[in-house]
Structure 1
Amino acid sequence: MSPENRSGRRVLVTGGASGLGAALVAAFAARGDRVIATDLAEHAPGNLPERTDYLRLDVTSDDDWAAALTHVEDTWGGLDVLVNNAGVAAGGRIEFLTMDDWRGITEINLFGVVRGCRTFTPLFKRQGSGYIVNTASVAGLIHPPSMSSYNAVKAAVVALSETLQHELAPYGVTTSVVCPSFFRTNLASSLSGSDPVVEASAIKLINGSKLTADDIAGQVLKGMDRRKPVILTDRTGRLALRTKRLLRPLYDRTMRRAAEGVRRRVERNGPATKNPTENHA
């Protein structure tokens, strides 16, 4: 049995100080895994479970990733599971998203994942084992209106993960991509963009969900146990994807109604607070 199949695995989780990352750290630790939680803060949060260490890691920094690899090799001599979970939320109509908005979300949500995969793949190949888990979103599989930047980077994470599923399998390395829909988390506080009308709607959906980060983390571990290439964590996501694949006219009508809803909210609330022609550098 390969190392990543046993309890007592060596696990690194990015974005592990809060939200889904913290829930994943707790879920791995509860199984008896040894975990390194990483995040931007200089010091460890006060709620880390037993068998958990903390390491500052900015996923946009090549130096921080190199330091994480060195730390893992010096501390454990290897790694069994890499969870690329760190990310931010964003939304907005295409004319309101600035190029800085696009660069910011791409650097964190996509290139942060790419850096993690590039950093640890050579180690996994040398070991002949390993498990990469990339957190995307159901927005990487279905593409609602007014979320172009978020949809695009999450779809890229899905594509990257599928590529690595095939590319790394000959080396004994497994890859899964996690695609949750809305759940209650502090991700709403990280919403960034230039379209306050759309941001308000996203916050309402996140805060109104009945699912918690712990619920999603439990489903992630179950999906990993089954080596599922795509881990859909909730009924809403499964139903939406099934509708897109099998009932495309219904899917298209639903998305057009959502876009019409945005248009009506904009009309009720008046013009946006920012000029969409500003800051397009």
Structure 2
Amino acid sequence: MSIAPESRILVTGAASGLGLALVRQLADRGCRVLATDVHTELPDPLRGLDRVAYLSLDVTQDVDWAKARDWVVEEWDGLDYLFNNAGVAAGGRIELSEMDQWQWIVDINLLGVARGCRTFAPMLKAQGSGHIVNTASAAGLVHPPRMSEYNAVKAGVVALSETLFHELKPYGVKVSVICPTFFKTNLTESLRGKDESANKSAAKLIDNAKLSADVIAARVINGVEKGRHIILTDRDGKIAYAAKRFARPLYYSMMAKASVQMSKKD
């Protein structure tokens, strides 16, 4: 089912990357979009966009989610699509990942999504309609070495999304989870951690990626319209996930090779 003009849509992490691309493309379709991000003032990339309102929202804060819910009720009297997109990046060898780094990425990437879902699930259930779209990663389905915290939180988002897919289905509410591999974005700006080798490798993969956030956003919207639960946006992710599901020895061989290559750089 196509995303109809005038659909009421909330997007988190909307000031850059995939979130910004989604906002622009959804607004171009005639949707009404509430773009949210941690910035207290309207971010420059969102200025001048028709049909787009802005609200400061820190996904780690319950009070901000409550404000977003109140805004939606007062301005729109309901919500059609919730895109839980805000996220950050971290990775590296397990012994170099400190617990404050784990807490930081869990709070944003996993609990931020959980807060969004629990805030709006009652509204969507009462409506008997709506669609939650959670941004995870191919790292939530396949788990390369030296990405412990990132893999863990993205796998958590996949698990949460599958749980809610079943839990909310009787109420007419749909749930999708986005699982892209590397694409060009500003995610490298959020990279944290003491493992400089891992940070450099991640930055290189993102910077050299062939696909743009605009391309990924278009494929996400297409997947949502087709009602897909797991939305794989690129060939590499589809191959890796298929290998894990149907050719586990090949998948383990791929992960072992990657681990050996990384260890040679230590």
TM interval, short-chain normalised: over 0.9
On the 8 A contact 2:16/2:45 being kept in 1, the answer is no
Decide which structure has the larger Cα Rg and report it: 1
Tell me the alpha carbon deviations over residues 177-222 of structure 1, each in whole angstroms, 9 at most, x when there is no partner: 0000000000011111221111110000011100000000000000
Percent of aligned pairs sharing the same letter? 57
Gaps of 5+ in 1: 267-281
Partners of 2:197 and 2:258 in 1: CA distance: 13
SS in 2 for 1:210: coil
Normalising by structure 2, report the TM-score.
Answer: 0.97
The alignment status of 1:9 with 2:12, answered yes or no, reads no
Partner residue in 1 for 2:149: 149
Q: Which residue of 1 aligns with 2:174?
A: 174
Q: Any idea what the Cα deviations from partners look like across 1:74-97, whole Å, max 9, x if unmatched?
A: 111111100000000111111111
Contact 2:183–2:212 at 8 Å: present in 1 too?
yes
Match of 2:74 in 1: 74
2:164 corresponding residue in structure 1: 164
Which residue is equivalent to 1:90? 90
Q: CA deviation at 1:173?
A: 0.3
Query: Could you tell me which residue of structure 2 aligns to residue 249 of structure 1?
Result: 249
Q: Report the more deviating stretch, 38-47 or 93-102.
A: 38-47
CA distance in 1, matches of 2:207, 2:85: 20
Tell me the distance in 2 between the aligned counterparts of 1:132 and 1:169: 11
Cα distance, 1:101 vs. partner? 1.0
- 2:39 counterpart residue number: 41
1:126 maps to which residue? 126
Runs of 4+ in 1 over 6 A off after TM superposition: none
Q: In the TM superposition, what is the alpha-carbon distance from 1:58 to its structure 2 partner? A: 0.1
1:249, distance to aligned residue in structure 2 (A): 1.4
Q: What is the rounded CA distance, in whole Å, between the counterparts of 1:47 and 1:134 in structure 2?
A: 22
How far off is 1:7 after superposition? 2.0
Is 1:189 the counterpart of 2:189? The answer is yes
Once the two structures are superposed, residues 3-49 of structure 1 have per-residue CA deviations (whole angstroms, 9 ceiling, x without a partner) of x8522100000000001000010111111100011001111123322
Q: Which residue of 2 aligns with 1:221?
A: 221
Q: Secondary structure at the match of 1:47?
A: helix
Q: CA RMSD in A?
A: 1.1
Secondary structure of 1:82 counterpart: strand
**What are the within-5 Å matches in structure 2 for residues 14-25 of structure 1?**
14-25=12-23
* Whole-Å separation in 1 of the counterparts to 2:145 and 2:172: 39
**Counterpart in the other structure of 2:24:** 26
Give ranges in structure 2 of 5+ residues lacking alignment: none
Deviations 1:105-150 (A, max 9, x none): 0000000000000000011011111110000000000000000100
Q: How many residues align?
A: 264
TM norm structure 1: 0.92
Does residue 1:263 correspond to 2:227, yes or no?
Answer: no
